Amino acid sequence: AQTVTQSQPEMSVQEAETVTLSCTYDTSESDYYLFWYKQPPSRQMILVIRQEAYKQQNATENRFSVNFQKAAKSFSLKISDSQLGDAAMYFCAYRSAHQLIWGAGTKLIIKP
């Protein structure tokens, strides 16, 4: 069975700085999809970025980018120029068939 691990329960970063959130996963599949979701205090789950495992190029969405290392089964999220609105829980998720398997989340604190 697939598992997703986020080893950082909490991270903090100074506003305008860069922060990297880590995620590792375990799978025997060769084709799969990975996602990062953001959950602000409102608790709505917001899709931040996605990565197809067959693509070698790392996905980017504005200030958000990933470092996808397929052999190492690592999928980290880099947030550049951190803003106060980035403060939230961040969840890494692996798509298995039609379900998402979730990590435990990392709480990101932005220091003004």
Partner 1 sequence: EPEVTQTPSHQVTQMGQEVILRCVPISNHLYFYWYRQILGQKVEFLVSFYNNEISEKSEIFDDQFSVERPDGSNFTLKIRSTKLEDSAMYFCASSPGTEIYEQYFGPGTRLTVT
How many Cβ atoms are within 10 Å of 107's Cβ, its own excluded? 15
- Using the rule CB under 8 A, give the single segment among 12-20, 64-72, 74-82, 93-101 that binds partner 1: 93-101
Amino acid at 15: E
The answer to whether 79 contacts partner 1 (rule: CB under 8 A) is: no
Q: What values do phi and psi take at 84, rounded to 5? A: -55, -35
Q: Which of 35, 82 has the CB closer to partner 1?
A: 35
Report the sign of the C-alpha dihedral through residues 81, 108, 52, 73, in that order: positive
CB of 63 to partner 1, least distance (A): 20
Tokens of 20: 């990297």
- Give the x-and-dash track for 2-41 against partner 1 (CB under 8 A): -------------------------------x-x-x----
| Of 6, 67, 70, residue with least CA distance to 39 | 6
Residues in contact with 14: Cβ distance below 8 Å, sequence separation at least 6, in sequence order: 82, 110, 111
Q: Which of 46, 61, 69, 111 is close enough to bind partner 1 by CB under 8 A? A: 46
Q: Which of 53, 110 has the CB closer to partner 1?
A: 53
- Residue ranges binding partner 1 (CB under 8 A): 33, 35, 37, 42-47, 50, 52, 91, 93, 95, 97-105
